Amino acid sequence: MTITKENIIKAIQKGTLTANKKYEKWSHGWWLDDAGVESVMVVGIAEALNEVQQNHESLRLEEAFQEIKYDSKASLKPGPLPKVIADRKRADIVLFDQKKHPKPTCVIEVKRSWDTTNCIKDMERIRELVDRFGPSNKGSLKRGFLALMITVEEKNKRIEECIEARISDIKDIIENDFKNHGKKIRYHRSKVRRGKEEYGYNNWGAASFCIEIHG
């Protein structure tokens, strides 16, 4: 048995919101999208993923693309890799399938919030990693996720409606700006968590949102 896609999604959602809740406590009310680093969210997601992995499975942080290429055992045609994965970039989280000669099965990029330029670039990297090192080239990498947090202020609408409106805007941007090159895209959202009243943020809501790309 290996970790299921459903468990990966649930772990991303749990890890994102748990990390945000911790940071809220540490900072007395601030959320991760207020901070300038993503490391707390990366570690939160990694901890939640490791909790649902089997004993023979593992994960790594900041894994170099070249290592993913080598460990996937993909049969690549001669020639240079696409520019988006040919540099010295690293993936935030990579899941591996076994103890002996582990092969990557899933890659996860993490963003605190949606930023069109950087998020589309991350999606392009995920697309190319799955394309080059996945089943189409007899590689082990099955899918990838871009994980982020959506935060909104209630104003005149319910928070749930505001979250859905923001996600709808993001989907429109992806539809216009992202070339999927035959890869399938799915969207996954968690339940909404409200800010704590004791910090004066109960009119704010947060949800985990992840974009899945697979072959």
Q: What is the pTM of this model?
A: 0.95
CA distance 167 to 46: 24
CA distance 211 to 56: 27
Looking at the chain, which runs of residues are DSSP E strands? 58-64, 90-96, 104-110, 143-153, 184-189, 193-194, 204-214
Residues 135-179 have pLDDT tens digits of: 999 999 999 999 999 999 987 678 999 999 999 999 999 999 999
Rounded to the nearest 10 degrees, what angle do helices 39-52 and 5-27 cross at? 140
By C-alpha distance, which of 40, 12, 200 is closest to 106? 12
Helix H or strand E encompassing 14: helix 5-27
Locate tokens 């540099």: which residue?
Answer: 87
The two tokens of residue 83 are 């520019």
Instruction: Give strand pairing partners of 186.
Output: 212
Contacts of 18 (CB under 8 A, 6+ apart): 44, 48
Q: Which residues of 87-123 are buried (b: 16+ CB within 10 A; e: fewer)?
A: eebbbbbbbbbeeeebbbbbbbbbbbbbeeeebbebb
Locate tokens 């429109």: which residue?
Answer: 172
Burial label for 176, CB within 10 Å (0-12, 13-18, 19+), is exposed
pLDDT at res. 16: 98
Kindly give the confidence (pLDDT) of every residue in the chain, 215 residues in length, as a single tens digit, with 9 standing for 90 and above. Answer: 789 999 999 999 999 999 999 999 999 989 999 888 899 999 999 999 999 999 999 999 999 999 999 999 999 877 788 888 887 889 999 999 988 899 999 999 999 999 999 999 999 999 999 999 999 999 999 999 999 999 999 876 789 999 999 999 999 999 999 999 999 999 999 999 988 878 777 889 999 999 999 98
